[in-house]
Chains A and B, each alone.
Chain A
């Protein structure tokens, strides 16, 4: 086992344990904070895959944006008279059985497949290359995503004000 493996298992453990608590904790605010650790763990896994720019974008957009948005959603949709903000669960047993079977099936398929792995070169900084691709091959998609984000945010603002 190299240092790389140990760090990978560390990030994997952080991600999966906190994801488990996100979906099982009854307190919504605690779930949101566990979601923070999940996003950090996923960012670490991106770094292990050599995707440094995506990892930073993950931190900025998810932790700095989406998580705060979700916390605002929690605060705006509960009567804050006490600290306890609970949520109930439904169909917990059938869902865990079905999803356990699903995860087992896909996991077995993943483990038994003989993946054709092509060795990629050592990771290099990706920011400049991604920027160049965004304004060359993917320029149209980039512009469309910008327009989509603008429309979505205007729509969200006008819907929430009504």
Chain B
């Protein structure tokens, strides 16, 4: 049980995903929500690389992880631009107060 195998990596990935999801759900600040999304993407990457290693799929898992990292960079840039625009418009980035589309 103490010898590190596939399940250890998967358990770490599940825990990291849960923490990220918790951050996305509970934090009010939009930048904190973004940090939760980054945690979730990292946990997905751990899964890809762990399955590629323990299933002997060569480098394909690592290539997908590389693509996920690129997408995360693009997503962070776009999301921060949107957050800064929201701040300029209503001087507040608490996600529970941005509800003008609802009215």
Contact = CB atoms under 8 A, between A and B. Distances in A.
A91 B25 contact: yes
Interface string A102-145: 11001100110001111110000010011001100010010001
A28 B32 contact: yes
B4 A16 contact: no
B19 A19 contact: yes
Contact of A111 (B3, B11, B72, B94): B11
A110 B21 contact: no
B77 to A, nearest CB: 4
A32 B73 contact: no
A150 to B, nearest CB: 9
Given A20-B19, A90-B96, A159-B81, A8 B74 contact: no
Contacts of A70: 31, 34-35, 38, 76, 80
Interface of A is mostly: helix
Given A89-B28, A103-B14, A51 B81 contact: no
A66 B38 contact: yes
Interface string A64-88: 0110011011101100000000011
Interface in A139-162: 141, 145, 148-149, 152-153, 155-157, 159-160, 162
Contacts of A23: 19-20, 22-23, 26-27, 35-36, 39
Interface string B83-103: 111010000011010000000
Nearest to B1: A111
B71 to A, nearest CB: 8
Interface in A8-38: 8-9, 12, 15-16, 19-20, 22-23, 28, 31-32, 35, 38
Contacts of A100: 18
11 contacts: A15-B12, A16-B15, A19-B39, A23-B36, A42-B42, A49-B50, A51-B65, A62-B72, A70-B80, A148-B70, A152-B74
